[in-house]
Structure 1
Amino acid sequence: MSKPLAVVTGATGGMGVEIVKNLARDHEVYALGRNKDVLEELAQLDNVVAVDTDIVADVLDGGGIEELRGLERVDVLIHAAAIAHHHSVETARRDDWYKHLDLNVVVPAELTRQLLEPLRSAQGQVVFINSGAGHGAHPGNTVYAVSKHALRGLADALRKEESGYGVRVSTVSPGPTDTAMLRGLMEEKNATYQPEFYIDPVEVAGAIRFVVDAGPTTQITNVDVRPRVELADRN
Structure 2
Amino acid sequence: MSDDAGLPVVLVTGANRGIGRAVAVDLATDHRLLIGGRDADEVQQVCAQLSSAQPFVADLADEQATARAAGSVQRVDAVVHSAGMLGSGLAGDLSRTDWRRVLELNVIAVADLTRLLLPQLRERKGTVVLINSGSGLSSTAGGGLYAASKFALRAYADALREEERAHGVRVSSIHPGRVATDMQQELNNFEGRDYDESRYLTPESVAAAVRLAITAPRGATVEMLSVRPGPN
SS at match of 1:6: strand
> Is the 8 Å Cα contact of residues 73 and 121 (structure 1) preserved in structure 2?
no
> Is the 8 Å Cα contact of residues 129 and 173 (structure 1) preserved in structure 2?
yes
Taking the aligned partners of 1:201 and 1:136, their CA distance within structure 2 comes to: 21
Letter in 2 for 1:33: G
Structure 1 range deviating more: 198-207 or 40-49 = 40-49
TM-score when normalising by structure 2: 0.93
Q: RMSD between aligned alpha carbons?
A: 1.6
Residue 210 in 1 paired to residue 215 in 2? no
In structure 2, the partner of 1:144 is 146
Deviation at 1:71? 3.6
Deviation at 1:215? 0.6
Structure 1 moving runs of 4+ over 3 Å: 35-38, 70-73
| CA-to-aligned-CA distance 1:177-205 (integer Å, 9 cap, x gap) | 00001101111222110100010101110
> Is the 8 Å Cα contact of residues 173 and 225 (structure 1) preserved in structure 2?
yes
**Which residue, out of 59, 72, 86, partners 1:54?**
59
Taking the aligned partners of 2:209 and 2:115, their CA distance within structure 1 comes to: 25
Taking the aligned partners of 2:66 and 2:193, their CA distance within structure 1 comes to: 40
**Which residue, out of 15, 29, 33, partners 1:25?**
29
Please show how residues 1-235 of structure 1 align to structure 2 within 5 Å.
2-44=6-48, 45-57=50-62, 60-62=63-65, 64-66=67-69, 68-228=70-230
Deviation at 1:36? 4.5
Taking the aligned partners of 1:48 and 1:72, their CA distance within structure 2 comes to: 14
**Change in CA separation of 1:5 and 1:211 when aligned onto 2, cut-off 3 Å:** same
Structure 1 range deviating more: 143-152 or 19-28 = 19-28
Taking the aligned partners of 2:163 and 2:223, their CA distance within structure 1 comes to: 14
Letter in 2 for 1:186: N
Structure 1: gaps spanning 5 or more residues:
230-235
Taking the aligned partners of 1:65 and 1:183, their CA distance within structure 2 comes to: 33
Taking the aligned partners of 1:210 and 1:130, their CA distance within structure 2 comes to: 16
Letter in 2 for 1:27: H
Deviation at 1:3? 1.1
Deviation at 1:62? 3.6
In structure 2, the partner of 1:232 is none
Taking the aligned partners of 2:51 and 2:154, their CA distance within structure 1 comes to: 33
Deviation at 1:131? 0.2
Letter in 2 for 1:73: R
> Is the 8 Å Cα contact of residues 60 and 66 (structure 2) preserved in structure 1?
no
Letter in 1 for 2:13: T
Structure 1 range deviating more: 11-20 or 32-41 = 32-41
Taking the aligned partners of 1:33 and 1:63, their CA distance within structure 2 comes to: 11
> Is the 8 Å Cα contact of residues 58 and 65 (structure 2) preserved in structure 1?
no
| CA-to-aligned-CA distance 1:20-70 (integer Å, 9 cap, x gap) | 11111111111111344532321111110123321211xx2446143x325
Structure 1 range deviating more: 94-103 or 36-45 = 36-45
| CA-to-aligned-CA distance 1:78-105 (integer Å, 9 cap, x gap) | 0001110312211111011001100000
Q: How many residues align?
A: 227
**Change in CA separation of 1:63 and 1:41 when aligned onto 2, cut-off 3 Å:** closer
TM-score when normalising by structure 1: 0.92
Taking the aligned partners of 1:65 and 1:112, their CA distance within structure 2 comes to: 14
**Change in CA separation of 1:35 and 1:63 when aligned onto 2, cut-off 3 Å:** closer
